[in-house]
Amino acid sequence: QLTIIFKSFQECVDQKVYQAEMDELPAAFVDGSKNGGDKHGANSLKITEKVSGQHIEIQAKYIGTTIVVRQVGRYLTFAVRMPEEVVNAVEDRDSQGLYLCLRGCPANQQIDFQAVRSAQATEGRARRKGPSLPAPPEAFTYETATAKCREKLPVEDLYFQSCVFDLLTTGDVNFMLAAYYAFEDVKMLHSNKDKLHLYERTRVLSPGNTAPTGTHPALWVALLCLCWLCLL
């Protein structure tokens, strides 16, 4: 489930709530409206359906924000483009719900991709020494996962690595599409086309698992099952 809350903003928009669930991606807010309500700036907040049941976009022009929500297979994905000053204003308020977007997964929920790959290689060697057993129909090796991901993501950046990791751990090819559409959303939303490809971090995150000093969080793409996103 994905819930997005747009708070009432001066004389511009009423408070609006958008909610999506698997196989239910509405092109309207919870109250059935498609814009910001009865106030003078209602049309500065609106929902547009791009592909029925699969892809919607929410434009919140009064805070310079665009949100893309998709259903890919059994999963919901979202991408957000937001001005840095709005990000900072939201981050300063203790009650806001942007922790996931600003700081990523908590350290105790992170998985070491290299460790998973190494363990799979060890398991593969052990299997070769033992009885020959057929692999499960949806199982991927590192080689087959990378080959599959290259079909949609030829550059070996973080989107590609995410695709490979998800195929190895789930065997679900929908994750390949999720990574592909995440990158497509970045291409549409990112203001600097020279920085579309993200690569493995070379610096350790600062305390609190926040982004390193000097970075400018302006765009997030995430795959999720449950998330609350609260905006001004």
Give the mean pLDDT of 23-32: 94
Distances (CA, A) of 87 to 65, 81, 192, 217: 10, 10, 18, 8
3-state DSSP call for residue 191? coil
Residue 212: pLDDT above 50? no
Residues in contact with 109: Cβ distance below 8 Å, sequence separation at least 6, in sequence order: none
Residue of 8 and 138 predicted with greater confidence:
8
- The confidence band for 128, taking pLDDT boundaries of 50, 70 and 90, is low
How confident is the model over 146-181, as pLDDT tens digits?
999 999 999 988 899 889 988 988 889 999 999 999
Q: pLDDT band for position 199 (50/70/90)?
A: confident
pTM for the predicted model, two decimal places: 0.68
The SS3 assignment for 30 reads coil
pLDDT band at 41 (very low <50, low <70, confident <90, very high): confident
User: Is residue 129 scored above 70 in pLDDT?
Assistant: no
Domains along the sequence of the chain with CATH: 2-103 (3.40.1000.10), 111-127+137-195 (no CATH)
Model confidence at 18: pLDDT above 50? yes
Of residues 180 and 220, more confidence is placed in 180
Query: Of residues 215 and 22, which shows the higher confidence score?
Result: 22
Please compute the mean of the pLDDT values over residues 26-51 and round it to a whole number: 92
Return the amino acid letter for 219.
L
pLDDT band of 187, cuts 50, 70, 90:
confident
The two tokens of residue 143 are: 């080689």
Q: Are strands 2-6 and 227-231 parallel, antiparallel or unpaired?
A: parallel
pLDDT at 101 > cutoff 80: no
Sign of torsion over alpha carbons 182, 70, 212, 61: positive
Confidence of residue 186 (pLDDT cuts 50, 70, 90): confident
pLDDT score at 125: 63
Question: For strand 45-51 and strand 55-60, is the pairing parallel, antiparallel, or unpaired?
Answer: antiparallel
Query: Which of 196, 206, 6, 222 has the alpha carbon at shortest distance from 100?
Result: 222
